[in-house]
Amino acid sequence: MSAVLDFAKRPLVVAMVLIVALLFVGNVLSPGFASSQQIMRLLIVAALLGIVAAGQNLVILGGREGIDLSVGGVVSLSAIVAGNLMSGSDAGIPLAILACVATGAFFGLLNGLGVTLLRIPPLVMTLGMLGVLQGLLVVIRQGIPSGRAAPALSQFVTQPLLFGLPGIIWLWIVIGIVMAFLLARTVYGHRIYAIGSNEQAAWMAGVPVRVIRVSLFVLSGVFAAIAGMCLLGYSGSSFANVGEQYMLPSIIAVVFGGTSLAGGKGAYTGTMAGAVMLTVLQSILTTVNIDESGRQMIFGATLLVLMLFYGRGRAMRA
Amino acid sequence: MSKLKISGVTKVYGATAALSHGDLEVDAGEVHVLIGSNGSGKSTLCKIVAGSVKPDSGTVVLDGKEVVIPGPQGAKALGIGIFYQELSLAGHRTVEENICLPDLPMRGPFVDRTALSERAARYIALFDGVTGDGFAPDVTVDALRPDQRQLVEIMKALATEASVLIFDEPTSALDRAQAERFFDILRRLKGDGRAMIFISHRMDEIFAIGDRVTVLRDGRTIGTMRIDETEPQAVVRMMVGDEPALAAEAAPTPIVDATAKTTDVALSVRGFSGQGFSNVDFEARKGEILGFGGLHGQGQSAVLRALFGALPVSAGNVELSGNAHAPSSPRAAIRAGLAYVSGDRGRDGVIQGRPILENVTPIHYLRDRLFLARPSALREKAKPAMDALNTRFAGFSHPIGSLSGGNQQKIVIARWLIDRPGVLLLDDPTKGIDLSAKADLFSLIRRLASEGLAILLYSSEDAELLSNADRILVFNGGSVTRELTGETRTRFNLYEAAYEAV
Amino acid sequence: MVDAVSQPVRRPGALKRVLERFPFLPVLIIFVALLALNGLYQPRSVSLVGLTGLVKTYLALVLLAVAQTYVVYAGDIDLSAGAIVSLVNVVIVSVMAYLGDGTFSVLGAMVIGLLVGLACGIVNGVVVAVFRLQAIVATFATSIFFTGVALYVMPVAGTPAPATFWRTYGGRILEIPFVFWLAIVLAAILYMLARTRLAMQLLAVGDDAQGAYQSGLPVTAIRMRGYAMCGLFAALAAFCVTGDTASGDPLVGGAMTLNSVAAVVLGGTALAGGFGTVVGSVFGALSIGLISSVVYFIGVPSEWQNLARGAAILLALMAGVLVGRRMRS
């Protein structure tokens, strides 16, 4: 019995149950909501959020108030860089991939160095970096006509590739498997948990704390850049600040996936479920016939209620 | 009638019972000593009275009336004040602000700074002359030394003017003059008719200040005695119960076996200086257990941590088996074959919330330069190390938090044994672990030494040092002032060297 | 055994003590330097007219930074501060539009606005302190909720504020710009608030919440009061926004949230709690304003201005954190 209870309390299980419940509610409110075609669309949108959340998840797992507020800026920047380099032609894809990954890695590196070498709190560092990225967006958009996605990229994101699933879903699955393997079965993964759980003990056990923390921010930038490219493929052309919508939701997806904001505890499988849950919730609210104000109120209130299921802080009096 | 009577109080955290049956009766005008080994439930009992821990069952009777203590604020209203072992100070606030924080004097809507300073000054004046350099009412607490912070916490407790005062290890960082002053204050408060609960590990203090003593063991109240009708040995017997005495202590003193020992020097340290220690010289041979003795905080820990690269070194030469070693970081030290076990396992050792496997393998990862973590292979590697320490655990995938303190420390030690180090640095490794775990640890250490490891052992318990070390370096004021070998390794010599003025 | 501590005595340096008392010194230096730069490139910007414009535009951010400071004192954060500004803005504009242009209408609307701000603060306090949700995600959720309410009150931006309101805000009393009177009143209020029990209690909670609780402080209530103060000051910020923009906009405050956090950090207040001043946040907010105008006056091409501003703020944040730490240790 207690084993069943323990199982039912696991964040992943909670998220799964909630997803199914939400799909059910959505289908009642708007018949056809849970059709396979609709679910596919939902998964594509969820994959975009989920890929951003992968990096966010790593940074948060690494502890010491790890958080990356600059992911939204990197997503936008990457979408614009990719759009400008492709300008609607498949030939530009390899260069665009290279440039995007390099861009994400570069800004992640700056974040990581600021956090480790200068010991700037991650919230402050990445908040400042967000401002820089937003400024850079204006500069890059200036003069160059807004780029368009290469047809192959759009196809990859929106059209079925294998077994009826589009490429981006496969990409997300691969990322999920890689992340799960990385965190559970590699020394690097164990070291991430170690520094997130007890940095001092990890350091005393010879873990290169700074190098690992920098690498987490770099990975966060890279994941956001990949998501930015995919977002370009999804929407066809890049436009201002498309990435901003991912900044805080990526953190919420991580929290809904059962990762503690204190670090050292959680896994990416939960985050994937969290991303799907968040997407389904948003999608229900856009489907039902209420105006924007009601939608936002319900969304905010639902988020609060859902948060009650997850890691609440310790009571002062034990 | 007792001022305070606690009966049948229990507190369970998850699977472990911190307190399974706590009884305590305190009279007005007495200092009631609470004693018991680590984890016996003393602090839990105190916190229940002070309202910061909620009991699962049991009753608290104050002045003959049963009361429910709703929280620290409620306890304060009932006239209960407490000194917390872990301190409850706000680091960025000043000394006087901290003293008055629980009950700030107000004038209208504003804090009355003048009244605040005056009130704080009354309590600071109690310790006039022993507060030490740098202590002032307007200094922030995080700029103070540990002993000074402890004084502030004492003043804060006194400022509650509560009729029941609880002191949970208030003297652990105080020097003799400060402690004496504190006892004077306690005696005066006794005269005022206050009821006081006092926790200390030092028998001399207990017998100097206490009126009655209550002994706790494994979360249960064992009994209460009048101090003037008992003696230290009787108290210790009650604390220890039927458990065998420390195995290592019972064992004959180690015989220096000339054949097993080599004369090879494993570690040589010359002119070693840094924060908290200066000009330390010594050599440790393979197969030798070299003890570091003396009072707390005389540089023993600092030397060990500095050797391990965890503290900066300002001068000196270190050679490991004849090769120069510059301790730059723990990572480099581990690669050079050093191992370090800290007594503060919560801070330096245990990776909380993670499985046992992840807690036992980090050193192996580094020394074998692994990339993949294959659980089956790792389990096989770790098993012998865990068995060597008689570690009791359900499975490698269980979280380390499910183990007792002693078993957690065994896991932390086992991580160093998968790949054999050259020199083992033990920095008060038995702090807060139970007797059987201590016995397991010391029998392992002796075996490791006989296999050719050089071991540096600092212990805050002199008995452990005397019965396990082949040679003892006595630290005083950050330097080695005496070396005790062979016949000279006696408690008397150790104390004499430790207490002599430098 | 007696602990004869052998550590050398750490006598806090004079500079450290000054900084413990006035942690806003670094930001004050940054502020003066920026002011000098402004004056150098555009002497008129430091004239009475120029400064009036600066205060008029940035008083809202100043107030929001002050609001944010009270929660950061206790180690919390409020990502809904900007949404509260939006909500109060549309509420008072709607109320004034309903009651008509007049002193009574304006004052009534402001009372209602303060109550709305207070209510929002209490909601945040409940979810963070009582329900013990993570402040960063919980206040993000409430920000969505507050924005929803603001959109309900005023679905599209553009309802004008009555002339009495913005004319007063932009006008003069006794030849002195109204905003300067506001600044003086604000300074007096902040001075008094700094002497209340709440400020010290919030800081004590931020230092060590468990310790504060064990000392008998009502930690949950104190954190709630911090959020309530934040809501009230966010409402005051909304009044300034309304005076400056002269209209209602349900999304007007959204972008201000992160700037308020930046201003607090720039002002030398520790995000972890327990240390800081509202004065620092005031100058932090003004410095953010000055950075924008320096970038403009220095002649940065328009498309590069955002980048220059972002980079300058990042550098200022980093410098603030580093200098503050260096000077304190």
Distance from the Cα of B257 to chain C's closest Cα (Å) equals 33
Q: For residue A143, what pLDDT is reported?
A: 57
CB contact under 8 A, A201 and B335: no
CB contact under 8 A, B72 and C214: yes
pLDDT tens-digit series, residues A109-142: 999 999 998 888 899 899 999 999 988 988 887 7
Single pTM value for the model: 0.86
CA pseudo-torsion sign B76, B79, B83, B85: negative
CB contact under 8 A, C5 and B134: no
Cβ-nearest to A121 among C210, C271, C309: C271
Q: Which two tokens stand for residue B39?
A: 């984890």
Q: Is the pLDDT of residue C48 over 90?
A: no
The answer to whether position A131 is within a domain reads yes
Cβ-nearest to B140 among C9, C20, C218: C20
Question: Which residue in the block uniquely carries the two structure tokens 């060590």?
Answer: C208
CA distance A289 to B403: 55
Alpha helix positions (H), B194-299: 203-209, 232-240, 247-250
CB contact under 8 A, C214 and B111: no
* SS3 assignment, position A236: coil
Query: Which positions in chain A touch C150 (Cβ < 8 Å)?
Result: 293
Q: Is the pLDDT of residue C321 over 90?
A: no
Q: For residue A57, what pLDDT is reported?
A: 95
Question: Which residue in the block uniquely carries the two structure tokens 């209420």?
Answer: A290
Per-residue pLDDT band for C1 (boundaries 50, 70, 90) equals very low
Among C120, C127, C133, C215, the strongest candidate for a mutation testing the A interface, having the largest count of A CBs within 10 A, is C133
Query: Which positions in chain B touch A187 (Cβ < 8 Å)?
Result: 365, 370-373
pLDDT tens-digit series, residues C18-47: 776 777 888 898 899 888 888 888 887 778
Chain centroid, CA B435 distance in Å: 15
Cβ-nearest to B373 among A186, A202, A264: A186
CB A122 within 8 A of CB A214: no
Q: For residue B252, what pLDDT is reported?
A: 43
Q: Is the pLDDT of residue A5 over 80?
A: no
Which backbone phi and psi does A274 adopt, to 5 degrees? -60, -40
Distance from the Cα of A134 to chain C's closest Cα (Å) equals 7
Q: Does C200 touch chain B (CB under 8 A)?
A: yes
Number of domains in chain A: 1
The answer to whether position A29 is within a domain reads no
Distance from the Cα of B377 to chain C's closest Cα (Å) equals 39
Amino acid symbol at B102: P
CA distance C82 to C318: 24
Task: Calculate the alpha carbon distances from C139 to B58, B256, C115, C163, C257 in Å.
Answer: 40, 67, 19, 34, 11
Cβ-nearest to B91 among C196, C201, C207: C207
Question: For chain A, how far is it from start to end, CA to CA, in angstroms?
Answer: 26
Helix (H) or strand (E) holding B215: strand B212-217
The answer to whether position A209 is within a domain reads yes
CB contact under 8 A, A206 and B52: no
Cβ-nearest to C307 among A118, A130, A132: A132
Among B46, B84, B94, B111, the strongest candidate for a mutation testing the C interface, having the largest count of C CBs within 10 A, is B111
**What's the CATH code of the domain at A53?**
1.10.3470.10
CB contact under 8 A, C274 and B91: yes
CB contact under 8 A, B109 and C192: yes
Which backbone phi and psi does C160 adopt, to 5 degrees? -80, 150
CA of B83: which chain C residue's CA is closest?
A: C215
Helix (H) or strand (E) holding B474: strand B471-476
CA distance B401 to B408: 8
Q: For residue C186, what pLDDT is reported?
A: 92
CA distance C123 to A10: 29
Query: Which positions in chain B touch A197 (Cβ < 8 Å)?
Result: 351-354
- In sequence order, the 6+-apart residues with CB closer than 8 A to the CB of A9 are none
ipTM of the complex: 0.85
Distance from the Cα of A116 to chain C's closest Cα (Å) equals 12
CB contact under 8 A, C211 and B110: no
The answer to whether position A6 is within a domain reads no
Which chains lie within 8 Å of chain B at 3 or more CB pairs, if any?
A, C
The DSSP bridge partners found for residue B60 are: B6, B67
CA of C220: which chain A residue's CA is closest?
A: A316
CB C33 within 8 A of CB C210: no
Q: For residue A108, what pLDDT is reported?
A: 96
Q: For residue A251, what pLDDT is reported?
A: 92
Query: Which positions in chain B touch A194 (Cβ < 8 Å)?
Result: 351, 354, 358, 362
CA distance C170 to C180: 10
The answer to whether position A225 is within a domain reads yes
Q: Does B92 touch chain C (CB under 8 A)?
A: yes
Going by C-alpha positions, the residue among B411, B378, B349, B29 that lies closest to residue B188 is B29
pLDDT tens-digit series, residues C180-197: 898 999 999 999 998 999
Among C3, C189, C222, the strongest candidate for a mutation testing the B interface, having the largest count of B CBs within 10 A, is C3
Cβ-nearest to A293 among C142, C148, C210: C148
CA of C17: which chain B residue's CA is closest?
A: B139
The DSSP bridge partners found for residue B66 are: B61
Which backbone phi and psi does C94 adopt, to 5 degrees? -65, -45
Distance from the Cα of C315 to chain A's closest Cα (Å) equals 8
Among B307, B351, B363, B396, the strongest candidate for a mutation testing the A interface, having the largest count of A CBs within 10 A, is B351
| Residue A144: Cβ-neighbour burial (10 angstroms; 0-12, 13-18, 19+) | exposed
CB contact under 8 A, C1 and B460: yes
CA angle B286, A208, A116 (to 5 degrees): 140
Amino acid symbol at C100: G
Q: What is the 3-state secondary structure (H, E, C) of chain C?
A: CCCCCCCCCCCCCHHHHHHHHCCCHHHHHHHHHHHHHHHHHCHHHHCHHHHHHHHHHHHHHHHHHHHHHHHHHCCCCCCCHHHHHHHHHHHHHHHHHHHCCCHHHHHHHHHHHHHHHHHHHHHHHHHHHHCCCCHHHHHHHHHHHHHHHHHHHCCCCCCECCHHHHHHHHCEECCEEHHHHHHHHHHHHHHHHHCEHHHHHHHHHHHCHHHHHHCCCCHHHHHHHHHHHHHHHHHHHHHHHHHHHCECCCCCCCCHHHHHHHHHHHCCCCCCCCCCCHHHHHHHHHHHHHHHHHHHHCCCCHHHHHHHHHHHHHHHHHHHHHHHHHHHC
CB contact under 8 A, A300 and C127: no
pLDDT tens-digit series, residues C55-80: 888 999 999 999 999 999 999 999 99
Q: Is A284 left (phi over 0), alpha (psi -120 to 50) or beta?
A: alpha
Q: For residue C9, what pLDDT is reported?
A: 41
CA distance C133 to C169: 39
Which chains lie within 8 Å of chain A at 3 or more CB pairs, if any?
B, C
Q: How many residues does chain C have?
A: 329
Cβ-nearest to B351 among A184, A197, A206: A197
CB contact under 8 A, B370 and A187: yes
Q: How many residues does chain B have?
A: 502
CB C5 within 8 A of CB B294: no
CA distance B193 to B3: 10
Query: Which positions in chain A touch B372 (Cβ < 8 Å)?
Result: 185-187
Going by C-alpha positions, the residue among A212, A11, A256, A224 that lies closest to residue A112 is A212
CB contact under 8 A, A190 and B373: yes
Structural domain harbouring A280? 34-311
Q: How many residues does chain A have?
A: 318
CB contact under 8 A, A248 and C308: no
| Local confidence pLDDT in tens for the 502 residues of chain B | 789 999 999 988 766 678 888 999 999 999 999 988 766 788 889 999 999 999 999 999 999 899 999 999 999 999 999 999 888 999 889 999 999 999 899 998 899 999 999 999 999 999 988 888 889 998 889 888 888 999 999 999 999 999 999 999 898 778 888 888 999 999 999 999 999 999 887 778 888 899 999 988 888 898 899 988 888 778 877 877 654 444 334 344 444 444 444 568 889 999 999 888 989 999 999 889 999 988 777 888 999 999 999 999 998 989 888 888 888 899 989 988 899 999 888 889 898 888 898 898 888 888 878 888 888 888 888 888 888 888 877 788 888 887 777 788 888 998 998 888 889 999 988 876 777 788 888 888 988 898 889 999 998 777 788 888 889 998 888 889 888 887 788 777 877 777 666 5
Size of interface B-C (CB pairs under 8 A): 125
Query: Which positions in chain C touch B97 (Cβ < 8 Å)?
Result: 200
Q: Give the count of beta carbons closer than 10 Å to the beta carbon of residue A308.
A: 12
Q: For residue B247, what pLDDT is reported?
A: 39
B278-305 burial, b if ≥16 CB within 10 A, otherwise e? bebebebbbbbbbbbbbbbbbbbbbbbb
Distance from the Cα of A244 to chain C's closest Cα (Å) equals 11
Going by C-alpha positions, the residue among A314, C272, C214 that lies closest to residue B69 is C214
The answer to whether position A127 is within a domain reads yes
CB B452 within 8 A of CB B396: no
CA distance B95 to B99: 6
Per-residue pLDDT band for A14 (boundaries 50, 70, 90) equals confident
Size of interface A-C (CB pairs under 8 A): 157
CA of A294: which chain C residue's CA is closest?
A: C148
Query: Which positions in chain C touch A311 (Cβ < 8 Å)?
Result: 134
Cβ-nearest to C196 among B111, B139, B143: B111
Cβ-nearest to B110 among C196, C216, C218: C196
The answer to whether position A9 is within a domain reads no
- Rounded to 10 degrees, what is the CA torsion of B252, B258, B264, B266? 0
pLDDT tens-digit series, residues C238-295: 999 999 888 889 999 888 998 999 999 998 888 888 888 999 999 999 999 999 888 8
Distance from the Cα of C95 to chain A's closest Cα (Å) equals 19
Q: Which two tokens stand for residue C100?
A: 């008509």
The answer to whether position A293 is within a domain reads yes
Cβ-nearest to A187 among B52, B342, B365: B365
Q: Is B297 left (phi over 0), alpha (psi -120 to 50) or beta?
A: left
Mean pLDDT of A72-93: 86
